[in-house]
Amino acid sequence: MLVTLEGLDGSGKTTVWNALGDAYPEAVRTREPTESWYGEAVYRSIDEETADPLAELFLYTADHADHLSRVIRPALSEGKLVISDRYSDSRYAYQGATLAGEVDDPVAYVQSIHEPFTRMPDLTFYLDLDPETAAERSGKTNKFEQATYLERVSENYERLIAAEPDRFVRVDATQSPETVAEQVRTRLATVLD
Ligand SMILES: Nc1ncnc2c1ncn2[C@@H]1O[C@H](COP(=O)(O)OP(=O)(O)OP(=O)(O)O)[C@@H](O)[C@H]1O
Ligand SMILES: Cc1cn([C@H]2C[C@H](O)[C@@H](COP(=O)(O)O)O2)c(=O)[nH]c1=O
């Protein structure tokens, strides 16, 4: 089963991902951007204020393709639980925002690039946090961690959730880290049982 954690920067995904590691030590825990050289290329682009948004989309997508073939598909074919801190929805939401004005309906465009080869998550936890708090918590250390940009990202996530309400589980990320992790653990346990 493929479980993903999604949300704005600073919404607490990595905190939950670590908590799930304690609850499910046998799970394969992974993340995007990955630690491969494709992921390193992505981080170079994140640090580049003037990176071309279309070029950046394809860097992220290359990293995803490698992640799928090297980590996700092999683990799933062995019947393992896979938990990914960010996955394809991050591309739809974030690059859907950076590509505004570059292509028509950027969210649909990014989805159309993924559809031929990606593997949909079975379950996605959306850690719901307002853009202002998200930007504050994330420390505003990169070009994406700005409230005005995160507002557009948040709107894109809402569109994704509305389109697939059964896949997404919304968790109020303004609660304490312990409560957020407990709610995710409880829901995941009901799905896995
Ligand atoms: N529920 C919470 N309430 C308050 N602070 C939190 C909560 N969860 C995490 N934090 C804090 O917010 C910061 C960001 O948390 P974390 O790295 O887990 O978020 P993230 O969603 O993975 O961020 P990013 O997408 O930027 O990597 C950390 O300082 C963390 O301790
Ligand atoms: C996977 C992915 C990520 N991003 C953005 C979101 C963050 O600002 C950075 C790095 O992610 P991290 O979880 O904070 O390490 O990249 C993106 O724009 N598109 C994506 O597909």
What are the pLDDT digits (tens) for 16-31?
999 999 999 999 999 9
CA dist 11 and 45 (Å) reads 22
Consult the annotation and say whether 128 binds a ligand: no
Consult the annotation and say whether 39 binds a ligand: no
Distance 193 CA to ligand 2 centre (A): 31
Stretch among 20-34, 72-86, 99-113, 142-156 having the lowest mean pLDDT? 142-156
Which structural domain range is residue 77 located in?
A: 2-192
- CATH number, domain containing residue 124: 3.40.50.300
Q: Which atom of ligand 2 is nearest to the CA of 43?
A: 10
Residue with the nearest Cα to atom 1 of ligand 1?
Answer: 177
Q: What is the pLDDT of residue 193?
A: 82
Say yes or no to pLDDT of 141 above 90: no
Ramachandran area for residue 26 (φ above 0: left; ψ -120 to 50: alpha; else beta):
alpha
CB 179 near ligand 1, within 6 Å:
no
Q: What is the pLDDT of residue 145?
A: 81
Judge if pTM exceeds 0.90.
yes
Average pLDDT over residues 140-169: 94
Consult the annotation and say whether 7 binds a ligand: yes
Q: Tell me the best of 71, 90, 129 to mutate to test the pocket of ligand 2, counting ligand atoms within 8 Å of each CB and taking the most.
A: 90
Say yes or no to pLDDT of 142 above 90: no
Please, which pLDDT band fits residue 143 given cuts at 50, 70 and 90? confident
CB 35 within 8 A of CB 117: no
Average pLDDT over residues 180-190: 98
Q: What is the pLDDT of residue 21?
A: 97
Sign for the CA dihedral angle at 65, 67, 72, 75 comes to positive
Catalogue the long-range contacts made by 42-49 (C-beta closer than 8 Å, 24 or more residues apart).
46/142, 46/143, 46/144, 47/142, 49/143
Q: What is the pLDDT of residue 59?
A: 98
* Structural domain count, the chain: 1
CA dist 68 and 60 (Å) reads 12
